[in-house]
Amino acid sequence: MTHWYPCDVSIDRAAKASDIALCLSADLAVDAQHITAVDHPITGVIHAIKTANEQDLVVIFGSFFTLSDFFACTDKL
């Protein structure tokens, strides 16, 4: 992965994007400059698309809640 966009999702028990960012940095040794915590899955996708090159692959993964939030907003892309 070149850049990570952990995001908040619309469920109380989900980990916060900022907590996921800390885990990526501390536990997986991802350089903090390659992590941007965002407020919603669609925000992360928009950032990823804007910074991606034509040959890049944007991967969206997470819980059903993450994907549900993304699919609910795909018409905004």
pTM: 0.82
User: Bridge-partner residues for 35, per DSSP?
Assistant: 4
What is the pLDDT tens value at each position of the chain, 77 positions in all? 899 999 998 888 999 999 999 999 999 999 999 999 999 888 998 999 999 999 999 898 888 888 887 788 777 66
Domain boundaries, given as residue ranges, for the chain: 17-76
Secondary structure (3-state) at 73: coil
